[in-house]
Structure 1
Amino acid sequence: MTLGYHTVGSGATKVVWAHSWLAGHESYDCMMPFLDAERFTWVFPDFRGYGSSRGLTGDFGVREMGRDLVDVADALGWDEFHLVGHSMGGQAAQWVSGQPDVRDRLSGLVLLCAVPSRAFPLDADSARLFEGATDSLDVRAAVISAVTGGRLGTGFVRYVNEASRKAVDPAVMRAYLRTWTQDDVSDEVQGYERPVLVLTGQFDPVLTAAVTEEQIVPQYTDVHRRVLDGAAHLPPMETPARTVALIEKHLLTGAEELRG
């Protein structure tokens, strides 16, 4: 069964967006008004257990996530498409880019505050915090505040927390937490030679530019890096217009204009 998804636009440039751990496609509602709906077709799937895919079960692993993203493109009849992976979704996007039967169809890749393909193990204190966030909304609020640097106030935290609560159940969050902290698929990420845009948040306290430079950039031959000023780990909510502008420019120009 194909993932549920939300579509914006009907343009010739086709994009699949892979979401983060905290919530499904609704977490990108802040970006929707800024998307170019004439030149692009944007598809926002919900991974298994989230939102419109809430009834779908599985192993909730990286490979399954990646195959499900490709299945969405297949269901839409897309021979070629771009892929944007945010946080946990970025780990799945990296796996997709390394698959010999898919990478020639992948016109472009954007990794936004992405979890490395080798996973991102947490120290003991962080692991307890994130585990606690799966069951407790109060702890989840603390996580949301932490990954955005505690900069955006209680209203922002409440907004993200509510989107998360509505989108996903605790058991599913626990399964995906194990995935992005433990599933190492780095040996399967190789051979993708088209331009890759790597975006990190200026204030992201965890998946920093240094982490990205060490663990993600070496996988690719044509990498274009940008730091999103004013954002931490949730740029689609923190700086939605700027995030959209950079991604659209990269996908339309092959990153040529980003060199300057």
Structure 2
Amino acid sequence: MAEEVLRVGDGEHPVLALHGWFGSGAAWRPLWPHLDGDRFSYVFPDYRGYGARRDEPGEHTIAEAAADVLALADRLGFDRFSLVGHSMGGSVMQRVLADAPDRVRALVGVSPVPASGVPFDDDGWALFAGAAEDPGNRRAIIDLTTGNRLSGVWLDAMVRHSLENSDRRAFAEYLPAWARTDFHAEIEGSPVPVKVIAGEHDPALGAETLRATFAAWYPNCEVEVFGNAGHYAMDETPVALATAVEGFLGAH
């Protein structure tokens, strides 16, 4: 994993923040001014095919991404750490837990993909599968998952970030990785503290879905619904997200 990984803070509690399908390590930037670097050491890695690792080859699987996260933690000297995962990153953080349960202090999912994947109907799959080649599909997905209510300027900026920070082939291959990978039997019953955050305007990974998955599998799980947010709480409600993440992690 690239040594130039983005970092915020040098506190005693290490936190690895894992980005989503449309993101990169840098997609967390709206959150950075609101983070407590005295208590926490945040790291914002890229997966293979994204950001600083855009040209790095890989298989583009959830297992590979999780193995890279663990390798980075080793390199940074993080014996035990917490994980924050947005969207696809929610699947990756749970794979890390499955692979190294004794090293994970706590999990926070932000509109996270469950360890069972995400079901699609035919039209939905066509929309998402076409996003690798068609920026219009990317824009439509971001608009849909934030409730068709946000500025076109913001939507265009999100699409631009996605195009500039992901390899097209890698982006395409990560779709079945997060949507069709099911390892929930490996994490079901884990006692790790878990908090999952649902945006009230997210039609796909909202509170109902998170309660039927995360809350059903993890006995120490809490679900919080964010008002005025859809799928991208780090952009839509960054102060509230930082407060919720650190309030939870600080207790563990």
Q: Give the TM-score of the pair, scaled to structure 1.
A: 0.93
Deviations 1:34-93 (A, max 9, x none): 111111110000011000111222211111111111111111011111111111010111
Q: In 2 relative to 1, CA 94–3 (structure 1 residues): closer, same or farther, beyond 3 Å?
A: farther
Distance in 1 of aligned mates of 2:75 and 2:2 = 7
Equivalent position of 1:133 in the other structure: 131
Equivalent position of 2:41 in the other structure: 41
Contact 1:119–1:180 (CA<8 Å) still a contact in 2? yes
Equivalent position of 1:162 in the other structure: 160
Amino acid of the structure 1 residue aligned with 2:53: S
* CA positional deviation for 1:192: 2.6
What stretches of structure 1 move > 3 A for 4+ residues in a row?
1-4
Equivalent position of 2:53 in the other structure: 53
Q: SS where residue 57 of structure 2 aligns?
A: coil
- What are the ranges of 5 or more consecutive residues in structure 2 without an aligned counterpart? none
Q: SS where residue 113 of structure 2 aligns?
A: coil
Deviations 1:75-126 (A, max 9, x none): 1011111111111010111122223xx2111111111111111111211111
Equivalent position of 1:11 in the other structure: 11
Distance in 1 of aligned mates of 2:65 and 2:206 = 24
What do you get for the CA RMSD once the two structures are aligned? 1.4
Distance in 1 of aligned mates of 2:10 and 2:235 = 23
Equivalent position of 2:116 in the other structure: 118
* CA positional deviation for 1:214: 0.9
Q: How many residues align?
A: 252
Q: SS where residue 203 of structure 2 aligns?
A: coil
Distance in 2 of aligned mates of 1:22 and 1:153 = 17
Amino acid of the structure 2 residue aligned with 1:95: R
Equivalent position of 2:85 in the other structure: 85
Contact 2:215–2:222 (CA<8 Å) still a contact in 1? no
Amino acid of the structure 2 residue aligned with 1:38: D
Give the percent of matched residue pairs that are identical in Structure 1 and Structure 2.
Answer: 34
Q: Is 1:243 paired with 2:244? A: no
* CA positional deviation for 1:160: 0.8
Equivalent position of 1:22 in the other structure: 22
* CA positional deviation for 1:249: 0.6
In structure 2, which of residues 125, 141, 154 is the aligned counterpart of residue 143 of structure 1? 141
